Amino acid sequence: MRVKRQKKNRRTVRFFTVCYGFRQPYKVLCDGTFVHHLVSNEITPADTAISELLGGPVKLFTTRCVIAELEKLGKDFAESLEAAQMLSTATCEHEEAKAADECLSEVIGMKNSEHFFLGTQDAEFRRKLQQESIVPLVFGLRNILLIDQPSDFQRQTAKDSENKRLTMTDTEKKLLVKRTAKIIASNRGEGTIENEEWGMPRVVSTRNGLGVKDRPQFKRNRAKGPNPLSCMKKKKEKLQSKSKADSNSGAQKEKKEGESDTKKRSRKRSKKGKSGPERSE
**Sequence-distant (≥ 6) Cβ neighbours of residue 58 within 8 angstroms:** 25, 26, 27, 28, 47, 50, 51, 117
By C-beta, is 33 or 63 nearer to Zn ion?
Answer: 63
By C-beta, is 53 or 107 nearer to Zn ion?
Answer: 107
By C-beta, is 73 or 141 nearer to Zn ion?
Answer: 73
Single-letter code of the amino acid located at 246: D
Asked if residues 41 and 78 have their Cβ atoms less than 8 Å apart, the reply is no
- Minimum distance from CB of 246 to Zn ion (Å)? 51
By C-beta, is 93 or 152 nearer to Zn ion?
Answer: 93
Interface with Zn ion, residue 65, by CB under 5 A: yes
Q: Which of residues 191-230 bind Zn ion (CB under 5 A)?
A: none
* Binding piece for Zn ion, criterion CB under 5 A, among 50-58, 90-98, 165-173, 200-208: 90-98
Asked if residues 113 and 94 have their Cβ atoms less than 8 Å apart, the reply is no
* Binding piece for Zn ion, criterion CB under 5 A, among 44-52, 91-99, 110-118, 238-246: 91-99
**Contact pick of 33, 62, 63, 206 for Zn ion (by CB under 5 A):** 63
Size of the site for Zn ion (CB under 5 A): 5
Q: Which of residues 92-151 bind Zn ion (CB under 5 A)?
A: 92, 94, 103
CA 203/CA 201 separation, integer angstroms: 6
Alpha helices, DSSP H, located in the chain = 2-20, 32-40, 46-54, 64-72, 78-85, 100-108, 123-132, 152-166, 170-189, 207-210, 235-248, 261-274
> Where on the chain is the footprint of Zn ion (CB under 5 A)?
63, 65, 92, 94, 103
